[in-house]
Every structure is written in structure tokens, then in C-alpha cells.
Copies of this chain bind each other. A is one copy, B any other.
Amino acid sequence: MNDDSMYIILVGCGRVGAQLATMLSQEGHAVVVVDDDPDSFNRLSGNFSGSMVQGNGIDEDVLRGAGIERADAVVTATNGDNTNIMVAQIAQDIYEVGRVVARCYDPVRSKAYEMLGLKTICPTTVGAEMLRETIVAEDAE
């Protein structure tokens, strides 16, 4: 643990969530991963040093069990935009977590929630832009 270490709750242990959990725990942050499918925790690498909570992230009892009342950050990366946005709003508006970000596949909703003050990452837009850059970059050939 270094001085900048945070208590971070990650909701959704899919490919992205599992990779992020390992990155953050290796950096010295205290990480709790929440997923309603216990098999999903198999995606965590052997280098993950945080803890796991089985349950649905939109259930406040589950979030409290994961320690949301003392969380510095909440990241939502389940496969469902609705769940990601709802959990992020609960974290930001009810528990006043300082750093919250939601994954949102739908570019239109991603922009709309950004305007409403919720940080989102839209893999659709990011993916399209990265593929475009690879193809149209002047040094591509």
C-alpha cells in the first residue's frame, strides 16, 4: 500500500473487470470485485490480491457488504448498460463516492449521462476511433 492507495469497488468481473481488478490491486489499491456469477471470479489472475463479493450490484445490501460506505472509487463494467449506470448513480448520488465511472456501450446514452454529470467510458466509440486511426494513420503502410 502506498499513500495514494484507494479502496475501489469493481462491479462486473467480465474480461475488462477482471483485467482492471488485477491492474489496480497490483498497483497497491484495495480492490473488491462484485459479480452475481461466482464463476466469473475464475477470470481473475493469480496476481489479484483483493476480495470477491457474490451478488448483484444494484442491490444496496450487496454494495454495503462490499464496503461502499468507505469506498474511494466505484467502477461498473457488467455486460449491461442499465446495470452499470444504475450502480454508478447509486454510488455517486446516495453514497457520495468521490470517483465513479460507468461503462456504457450505447454512445447516445453515454453522452447523455456525461451531460448529467456521470463519468462514462463508451467502448463502442473508443473502439471505432482506434480502428479508424490504425487504418487512416499516414504511416500505416
Contact = CB atoms under 8 A, between A and B. Distances in A.
Interface residues of A, number: 37
A135 B27 contact: no
A134 to B, nearest CB: 4
Interface in A13-30: 15-16, 19-20, 23-24, 27, 29
A61 to B, nearest CB: 24
Interface in A123-141: 123-132, 134-136, 140-141
Copy total for this chain: 2
Given A27-B136, A126-B126, A141-B98, A103 B131 contact: yes
Contacts of A20: 128, 131-132
B121 A16 contact: no
B19 A128 contact: yes
Nearest to A20: B128
A77 interface: yes
Given A15-B105, A15-B107, A99-B140, 19 more contacts: A6-B135, A16-B131, A19-B107, A19-B128, A23-B128, A23-B132, A24-B135, A29-B136, A73-B135, A75-B135, A77-B127, A98-B141, A99-B134, A99-B141, A101-B135, A103-B131, A119-B134, A121-B127, A121-B130
